[in-house]
Structure 1
Amino acid sequence: MDFFTGIRPLLFSYVLINGILITLQTKEEVLLDMKATGGELGWLTWPLDQGDKLGWEVVQRTLNGSQFYTYSVCNVGEREQDNWLRTTFIQRRPSASRVFVELQFIVRDCNSFDGTSLTCKETFNLFTSESDADVGTTFRKGQFKKVATIAPDEITSKNELRINTETRVVENLSRKGFYLAFQDIGACIALLSVRVYYKTCPATVKSLASFPETVAGGENQALREVNGVCVDNAISEELPRIYCTVDGEWVVPVGQCQCKPGYEEVKDVCQECQAGFFKAATSSDKCEPCPANTQRQDSGALFCPCMYGFYRAPTDPPTGPCSGLPSAPRDLVATTTSAGKLLLTWSPPEDTGGRNDITYSIECQRCEGTACQPCGEKIRYEPASTGLTDTKVSVSELDAHLNYTFTVEAHSGVSLFMSDAEPRANKPPSTSALTTSLLYTDPPKITTMRLVERSSTSLSLSWDVSPRPRVQHRPIRYELTYCKKDDNLDVTTFIVLKQEKNFAQINDLAPGTAYLFRVQAFSSDGSAGGSSMEEQFETLLGEQSNSTAIIIAAVGGATMLFIVAMVLFVRRRKRNSHTRQGAEDTYFSSSEQLKPLKTYVDPHTYEDPNTAVLKFATEIHPSHITKQKVIGAGEFGEVYRGILKVPGRKEVAVAIKTLKPGYTEKQRQDFLSEASIMGQFSHQNIIRLEGVVTKCKDFFKHAMIVTEYMENGALDRYLRDHDGEFASFQLVGMLRGIAAGMKYLSDMSYVHRDLAARNILVNNTLECKVSDFGLSRVLEDDPEGTYTTSGGKIPIRWTAPEAIAYRKFTSASDVWSFGIVMWEVMAFGERPYWDMSNHEVMKAINEAFRLPAPMDCPSAVYQLMLQCWLQDRSKRPRFGDIVNLLDKLLRSPDSLKTIADFDPRVSIRLPSTSGSDGSPFRSVSEWLESIKMSQYSENFTCAGVVTMDQVLQMKNEDIKNIGVRLPGHLKRIAYSILGLKDQTSTLSVFAV
């Protein structure tokens, strides 16, 4: 039956309009293009001879002078159709393991044919077959693997042409090339275009690093890591890397390149700084203009030297301005404040040289006659004689009647030093000074006053003065003041006597009367010295006895003693009554014991999730966070390494999870719920939450979760990168930390549900911390690692049987997961159950299979794993028991020397298919890749070991000689060779 009956004009119109439709998209490399070929394709049809039946046939048309070919088949009236169309051999690039097949086709509506609806089909099948060479016209259906059944979205009727476009993915290609085949089982089809291509990440420059064009990864390598090279005049502390996604996009650049000193970034290149600009260090900063008082330099300058007469201090940055010297201080004044003490004050320099680090120093000289010398250590300065920032200083311990010279010097950061870049002749003078001289005369001071003689009407007094005058023609005058002591009078009359002698006799006094005396000295210049203490002296009563006064004094003293004793007694009783403790005191003193144990609170129980975030997490101001570089990417956004600097606290390194712009409110709540969970935990083996950023959205455009930074990243990757480098004792120590963290969570009634080595983080001291408390997000990340049930997705390889079957997640199911983590740690990050499918894993566990002991695993550790994997969850150990057992093993290292039995046939998975030579592997590189040792492929090739027969003859010494040094890698390769010698298939061991 002719497919084109009734629709040929429509099809030809489509060809005319769309004949130039073929344009290569970016990031795509085409391996086959049916339209672009133009000439006859030479595709193979099968069966070759069908008699009267028609199979696939080529239809030729002419478009703009060029031949245009399509393939069609239309045997809708015949039963049991099996028509094949095979392409020519398609060469594959070695790294392109994943290709896309884009089809353009027309399918005729079965209802448009009369009487053929029972046998007519409206679908066809796409197949593929790999080969290392072109097999020519040889065709065997058994060599082909089905890729997909192709069904049209729109069906063509007699009068309306409907073109369908479908794209299918062919995964896991590994041989030199492949064929595509199309099987018709009774449809009416026209195949208009077949285009086969693979995606690449194009050559690019990111963060000043150049990355080559890279073929996008496949399902087994979703992110392909690519190393880059810094552009000219740029360097990087670490090797720049980036990841190529399966969609041909570059993501998560790591290791930013920065322009060298004297260069700045301009459109992905590093250009020299312009004349008059400079850049002193390797950084991403722009060149800066030369600062004040510096010389303009040519292009590419690293710094700008100071102009003549200007300097930089050693502590000044080379990027800062240069400054001049300060002028001298002004208005120096000396003021006598007391005996032997002066106050020096002055004004700041009029010109500070452009600096604010002005300090002052004081120099002192003392002169007697014409001889002058430094004042020495006797003189005291308050607060100091050097390094003064205030414009005053107190000077004490001065001697009277000496000439003193004080010099105040102004200093700045450039006064005593100059930059190494300055010529030596430009060295500045050290100080700018202001000097004052004065004759210091210490005012006299009365030191003592004594009664020399008395009578009923007179009193004779004398007193001492200090210091004594050194020059006789400079006398001291004294002023004696006295009055009668009488408390009953409101008005007191003072009598003043002035004289030049230090004694006096006062007559005409009243008998038996007390008088108050005070003496003050004056120097020759009229300055007053310190007054004496006020003294009281009394005249005699003549013949009267003093017995009455004595008795009165004794009675008064006894009365005072009695009053003091009573006051002390009352105070002591009052103090004793306060020290007695009441019942309420006992209650409050034991409040810590009465405090209830802390229990985990599910943030999803809050009607408003934002309330939970505010309750359990600290809000951090965005200005306290500095993001440095991307270290990962997740569903919600990128993860950065950064610095948290809170005022009053030391800055710390942190990890910053971000919420990408354009999020929904539900995504924001799911994102922040992890912080609400983490904020409730405080344990050294649980990742610490520093806080969250939920405000200032307009500034940051997203929320953030800030946690402590773990330098070594995820435990599984870290162990794979350091395979064989740690002893069993160190690995058990890591497990002990994880178990302690899980015991803490279990005690708080928290069930993790996703405990795995990928969710354990390691810091630079190898301390392990449990992390990743956002279960829904984690489980959606890896569809291949999960099994969908009615309640969501769960990670099969780490999940207990009852949690898989009934979704019963408890601390006991976390213990099962901890057993898998133990196996991962002892196997240095090996994937649990290797390449078994999820179905195979579940079937094996239900048939009582358990993971075998890893290489060199202590028997006691493996026995603990088996206890964690008991089918009956009630019999599994608790985390407290696990911590105690691991502590016991660590205290007795000899208990780790007994190694569990190791079966390489089970522990190292071997493929179930054989190569052409009967060996389990077709090549040495394929074998090394299967045991995760592909980094040694070049070692084997250089040593001439290029066939599997040569591999099977190798001994331990041979493996060492080709460059395998790490003990763990040496054992892995040796055990694999041992397993290869046994032809027993791994699948039979598992009986899956």
Structure 2
Amino acid sequence: MTMDYLLWMCSVVLPVVLAVEETLMDSKWATTELSWTTFPESGWEEVSGYDDSMSPIRTYQVCNVRSPNQNNWLRTDFIPRKGVLRVYVELKFSVRDCASIPNIPGSCKETFNLFYYESDGDTATESSPLWRENPYVKVDTIAPDESFFLLVAGRINTKVRSFGPLSKAGFYLAFQDLGACMSLISVQVFFKKCSTTIANFAVFPETATGAEATSLVIAPGACVSNAQEVSVPLKLYCNGDGEWMVPVGSCTCMPGFEPAMTDTQCQSCTPGSFKYKHGEASCYPCPPNSRTSSRGANICPCQNGFYRADSDSPDSACTTMPSPPKNVISTVNETSISLEWEEPLDTGGRDDVIYNVVCKKCLHDQSPCTRCDDNVDISPRRLGLTQKKVVMRNLQAHTRYSFEIQAVNGVSGKSPGAPRYATVNITTNQAAPSAIPTVHLMKSTSDTLSLSWLPPEKPNGVILDYEIKYYERGQAMSHTVTAQHSSVSVEGLRAATPYVVQVRARTVAGYGRYSIPKDFSTSTHSDPMKSVQDQLPLIVGSASAGLVVIVALVVIAIVSSRKQRSGSELEYTEKLQQYVSPGVKVYIDPFTYEDPNEAVHEFAKEIDISCVKIEEVIGAGEFGEVCRGCLKQPGRREAVVAIKTLKAGYTERQRRDFLGEASIMGQFDHPNVIRLEGVLTRSCPVLIITEFMENGALDSFLRLNDGRFTVIQLVGILRGIAAGMKYLSDMNYVHRDLAARNILVNTNLVCKVSDFGLSRFLDDSSADPTYISSLGGKIPIRWTAPEAIAFRKFTSASDVWSYGIVMWEVVSYGERPYWDMGNQDVMTAVEQDYRLPPPMDCPMVLHQLMLECWVKERNLRPKFCQIVSTLDKLLRNAATLKVVTSTYSGDLMRIGGTLPGHHMKSLDSSQNDIVRQQMSATLPIRV
């Protein structure tokens, strides 16, 4: 993304109602004396004058510059605050240049002070409150932009200041002169508010701004008339400038109503049109064969003879029943009939036509036809046919049948009439017998096979005889014999030869189908050989059983030998196969170990309890207390360490997770990742020992040192964090909880990534490696990428999103991301492409890098190696950090356009050129 494009996006402003100011007091409209209270009487003086348009005004002047030690006070009348929390004061004044006044002492001033005093009523007197800074609250020292000389017309200065929060019924303004020659021309007191507005078909009431310039005041909304809620709650945020931002929830027009008046109202559909569901779509003309004459219709009723199916949507056309099928063709094959037909001439306006076949048997005595018996097979089925073909089997021979082929569609059941159908009358022929079920071998000799079989299940007449076909297996030539009954002896065969045998029955209608081929073998002349053949299955079975026993014994021996080896050695050897390439180590998930003790001893050093001394408790962790202590190991210097304890009464799951974090840390060795010294698993309590970071968590450290670091130091902090994350990413490791609170800082401002409680192994076996968390996993919403929130998919790209939030935390000195917005509102804002604005005095290149990290498409976010490279270039070329953004961190900004009411100052052309050069030199990353 080029800088020109980014600046264009920031200059787009959505059309909204501008902020509204309401005046509490304005002295320029006074027509009589103001009579404000002065002290002393020789100080401020009320005089009449004229403004630029020569309208009379009341002003106050003071010019006691020749007398030293001036302390002149002027107090307004009581000003009711009307429930607002923050007010603004606009001062118009002129000040004479001290250099233009001859012969005056060095006490001449060109400034004055602005104070206020809160009160629950108009109780001030000439002597109360006392004329001094306390009990008055100082707002600011006011200095002119331009002062004037005696012979030159007075130049009017305009200054605006604000103060709050206010809590009492009202307040007084006070002006203190310490020796200036000036004129207070007018004083206007006002407050800002967000005016009544309509967004997403919801009305939001007029709302006063909050107590601070960065405050966000929530205004609840209500749907406009004829609209309904589609997501709740309905609310807008009113920012400190009196501008609406981040709409949450929405309404939409109800069925029968469409958007009107630039999407601020919902008007009813006109007669002849309708809208059947809620939404922002317009009303539609009635579908074919339907009509309506009323306003606000959500459906158009069908005309007579037309219908809608239950599954049809209200915007579907009304349809009718189809005409009968065309051109029915029948084919008779003995007791089977095949029917084919064409689709109806008129489908009724629908494409869901199906067919039903009704079979009726008609007797010869002219009596009415009756439904066919259940034993008639209709293939593929009787009802709901989508294809235009059906086959009927198992019909009776020489019988007349009548078949009705009905065409039905989705509205056939709505019509009071019967479905329309085509009729065909057919008489069946004589059928041949069905196939013989199977053939059995009764006896086998060297030249004879004695066979038997059951008659066919459906002889379809009297069986005249049976034909037996046989041939040697593998030979093409076959022989046949006939039999009058269901048995036969086939003679003249060759000894010890396999034969294939099939049998079929014959009636007056002809032969039926052959039976399934069966293999039978004649016997040999040698009876001993036959005995061996008879015993062969037993011999083979015994040999097989013995082989199984031998194999089982071998397996048991191998398993026993393997169990004697170290379990951790075997498992670690298997896990070494996960290395991507020789010499490149990949993170191993300790939760794949069945025993957590085995994992922690694989990756962490066991420390003797005598080497550890706990000195004081410095915090609390998820599993117990966090302490500072000393570690003195043989041959090493005593070191200050951090000690995590596992609280008493822990569950086995808690112990596993506690040691799991140590097993994770023990695999890392990088200057920007917290270092594990070792563990104590044989003591009570169980301990994890890490290096001690004197300055603690990064977020609280930044808040304690607000504004004390240079931009170069802040970039150095960011570079260290990015380097640690690059190391973890290269090991295929996803952190999942990267935030400033989980970055630790030592005395040299070296930052180290810590807290691996939410982290899990990233499997890179696929082209798109991800970790899918459990449904109950906790997710830090403000730091988490949208795809990780929505689908529980964590990748190095989601860590990059979190790193962008950490950048914002660092540059804003530990401010809370998204301020006091709720988690649901944060998710809604991010989904609507709102992004955090640049913090105050943020270099533009850093905020651009943040926006790169917050790209919605995760594959387009920079890699950590690119982030480290970019920060290195910034550190080498510090001039690129001098162009800062001109916004403050009170508003969100939107990708592709700013928030409603959010105005970002544009850079001039020369600044555009500078920024473009900087970006091309330091940010080779696409958005």
Q: TM-score, normalised by structure 1?
A: 0.50
1:122/1:226 CA distance change after superposition, 3 Å: same
Q: Which runs of 5+ in 2 are unaligned?
A: 1-17, 575-591, 601-658, 666-672, 674-720, 737-752, 762-769, 793-813, 825-829, 841-927
1:122/1:680 CA distance change after superposition, 3 Å: farther
Matches of 1:510 and 1:686, distance apart in 2: 79
SS at match of 2:73: strand
The residue number in structure 2 matching 1:714 is none
Deviation at 1:313, TM superposition (A): 1.3
1:608/1:486 CA distance change after superposition, 3 Å: closer
- 1:272 maps to amino acid: S
The residue number in structure 1 matching 2:715 is none
Q: Is the 8 A contact 2:336 2:393 kept in 1?
A: yes
Q: Is the 8 A contact 2:326 2:341 kept in 1?
A: yes
Matches of 1:57 and 1:535, distance apart in 2: 129
Deviation at 1:37, TM superposition (A): 3.4
The residue number in structure 2 matching 1:592 is 594
289, 292, 296: which is aligned to 2:285? 289
Matches of 2:459 and 2:183, distance apart in 1: 132
The residue number in structure 1 matching 2:370 is 373
1:569/1:441 CA distance change after superposition, 3 Å: farther
1:269 aligns to 2:249 (yes or no): no
Task: Tell me the number of residue pairs that the alignment of Structure 1 and Structure 2 aligns.
Answer: 613
Where in structure 2 are the equivalents of 1:338-357 lying within 5 Å?
A: 348-349=343-344, 351-357=346-352
Where in structure 2 are the equivalents of 1:811-890 lying within 5 Å?
A: none
1:107/1:331 CA distance change after superposition, 3 Å: same
Per-residue displacement from partner, 1:770-808 (whole Å, max 9, x unpaired)? xx9xxxx99x999xxxxxxxxxxxxxxxxxxxxxxxxxx
1:125/1:559 CA distance change after superposition, 3 Å: closer
- 1:84 maps to amino acid: W
Deviation at 1:214, TM superposition (A): 3.6
60, 77, 81: which is aligned to 2:49? 60
The residue number in structure 2 matching 1:151 is 142
The residue number in structure 1 matching 2:428 is 439
1:687 aligns to 2:778 (yes or no): yes
- 2:106 maps to amino acid: L
The residue number in structure 2 matching 1:362 is 357
- 1:413 maps to amino acid: G
1:218/1:321 CA distance change after superposition, 3 Å: same
1:453/1:437 CA distance change after superposition, 3 Å: same
- 1:363 maps to amino acid: V
Q: Is the 8 A contact 2:434 2:458 kept in 1?
A: no
Q: Is the 8 A contact 1:606 1:612 kept in 2?
A: no
SS at match of 1:361: strand
1:357/1:477 CA distance change after superposition, 3 Å: same
Deviation at 1:184, TM superposition (A): 1.0
Matches of 1:298 and 1:409, distance apart in 2: 39
Q: TM-score, normalised by structure 2?
A: 0.53
Deviation at 1:361, TM superposition (A): 3.3
Point out the more displaced range, 675-684 or 271-280.
Answer: 675-684
Deviation at 1:79, TM superposition (A): 1.4
- Greater relative contact order: 1 or 2 (C-alpha under 8 angstroms, separation 6 or more)? 2
- 1:248 maps to amino acid: G
1:557 aligns to 2:534 (yes or no): yes
Matches of 1:406 and 1:551, distance apart in 2: 67
Matches of 1:115 and 1:676, distance apart in 2: 76
Matches of 1:263 and 1:708, distance apart in 2: 36
Matches of 2:491 and 2:97, distance apart in 1: 150
1:189 aligns to 2:182 (yes or no): yes
63, 68, 83: which is aligned to 1:79? 68
Deviation at 1:27, TM superposition (A): 0.8
Per-residue displacement from partner, 1:834-886 (whole Å, max 9, x unpaired)? xxxxxxxxxxxxxxxxxxxxxxxxxxxxxxxxxxxxxxxxxxxxxxxxxxxxx
1:263/1:320 CA distance change after superposition, 3 Å: same
1:109/1:677 CA distance change after superposition, 3 Å: farther
- 1:261 maps to amino acid: P
Matches of 1:614 and 1:537, distance apart in 2: 66
1:116/1:336 CA distance change after superposition, 3 Å: farther
The residue number in structure 2 matching 1:412 is 409
The residue number in structure 2 matching 1:712 is none
Where in structure 2 are the equivalents of 1:494-513 lying within 5 Å?
A: 494=479
1:324 aligns to 2:326 (yes or no): no
1:105 aligns to 2:93 (yes or no): yes
Q: Is the 8 A contact 2:256 2:283 kept in 1?
A: yes
Matches of 1:46 and 1:347, distance apart in 2: 109
- 1:108 maps to amino acid: R
1:85/1:681 CA distance change after superposition, 3 Å: farther
Matches of 2:757 and 2:193, distance apart in 1: 36
Q: Is the 8 A contact 1:90 1:178 kept in 2?
A: yes
Deviation at 1:142, TM superposition (A): 1.3
1:706 aligns to 2:789 (yes or no): yes
Deviation at 1:480, TM superposition (A): 4.4
Q: Is the 8 A contact 1:617 1:692 kept in 2?
A: no
Where in structure 2 are the equivalents of 1:302-313 lying within 5 Å?
A: 302-313=298-309
Q: Is the 8 A contact 2:465 2:505 kept in 1?
A: yes
Matches of 1:282 and 1:249, distance apart in 2: 30
Q: Is the 8 A contact 2:86 2:166 kept in 1?
A: yes
Matches of 1:90 and 1:329, distance apart in 2: 94
1:170/1:676 CA distance change after superposition, 3 Å: same
SS at match of 1:35: helix
Matches of 1:578 and 1:329, distance apart in 2: 70
SS at match of 1:256: strand
Q: Is the 8 A contact 1:324 1:354 kept in 2?
A: yes
1:567/1:759 CA distance change after superposition, 3 Å: farther
The residue number in structure 1 matching 2:550 is 573
The residue number in structure 2 matching 1:256 is 250
Aligned-residue CA RMSD in angstroms? Answer: 5.8
Q: Is the 8 A contact 2:259 2:266 kept in 1?
A: yes
43, 64, 82: which is aligned to 1:94? 82
Deviation at 1:239, TM superposition (A): 8.0
The residue number in structure 1 matching 2:199 is 206
Where in structure 2 are the equivalents of 1:395-544 lying within 5 Å?
A: 398-416=395-413, 418=414, 427-430=416-419, 432-433=421-422, 435=424, 437-439=426-428, 441-445=430-434, 447=436, 466=456, 480=467, 492=477, 494=479, 520-521=504-505, 524=508, 528-532=511-515
1:333/1:92 CA distance change after superposition, 3 Å: same
Q: Which runs of 5+ in 1 are unaligned?
A: 1-24, 419-425, 540-545, 619-669, 695-702, 710-752, 764-771, 783-992
Deviation at 1:301, TM superposition (A): 1.8
- 2:371 maps to amino acid: P
Q: Is the 8 A contact 1:329 1:434 kept in 2?
A: no
The residue number in structure 1 matching 2:618 is none
Deviation at 1:384, TM superposition (A): 4.4
